[in-house]
Amino acid sequence: MMLHIPGVLSREQVIEMRRRLDASDWIDGKQTVGEQGARVKRNRQLPEHSPLSQELGSIVLAALKRSPLFFAAVLPLRIVPPLFNSYAGGEHYGLHVDGSVRPVSDATYSLRTDVSSTLFLCEPDEYDGGELEVVDTYGTHEVKLPAGDLILYPSSSLHQVLPVTRGERVCSFFWTQSMIRDDARRTMLFEMDQTITSLRSQLGDSQEVLGLTGQYHNLLRMWAET
């Protein structure tokens, strides 16, 4: 499932993040990928362990906790601390699949990457190119969202960032291990959750809504890994 979540960050939060990121020192993005990714990756990243990266990442994580749509779609168990990258002057990231397991910095565990997320920190008219292109069973999708908006998609998807030919593309990105490993099951639970929410707004906690809610939680209880 691919899902666009608008307004994860406010305009004021984006402006402040960009002010601080624009004044920061970037490093070669190859330092955070494996051998396959390094062959096709041409961009810059904020150092993963820098105080600024950790501070801005905590702001992103707090915003995600306030997003019921993100929780419903991802059903997160663990989230890799958000990273930040920049593309300009023809930089790009060729077709690749995200690694299946990723270590968590300053932690004693790794997590399985079920869901990949990109949070845009610049407006679409600030740069040319730079679309996130995701390939799945339904075709190829190009994504270029307003600042503060997020796109999520299965980490198993083949994807790339097209060359930025004008301006600068700045984003935050991260991976989530879901309580629900299988994307088809996550999608079904998300659609069921959204249907329950819609019906509750129309009917209140009717017997039918309560029954459907019970089925949702029974499925979640059956499939969840915690």
81 & 9 share domain: yes
Tell me: pLDDT of 67 over 70: yes
In terms of domains, do 86 and 113 share one? yes
CA gap 57, 174 in Å, rounded: 10
CB-CB contact of 147 with 11 (8 Å): yes
Q: How many CA atoms lie within 13 A of 162 on its CB side?
A: 15
Is residue 157 located within the same domain as residue 51? yes
Q: Domain residues for 172?
A: 3-178
Total domains in the chain come to 2
User: Do 132 and 216 fall within a single domain?
Assistant: no
Whole-model pTM: value is: 0.95
Q: Decide if pLDDT at 31 tops 80.
A: no
Provide the pLDDT for residue 34: 66
196 and 106 in a common domain: no
Q: Mean pLDDT, to the nearest integer, of 150-162?
A: 97
| Mean pLDDT over the full length of the chain | 95
**Whether residue 173 sits in one domain with residue 82:** yes
For residue range 70-95, list pLDDT tens digits in order.
999 999 999 999 999 999 999 999 99
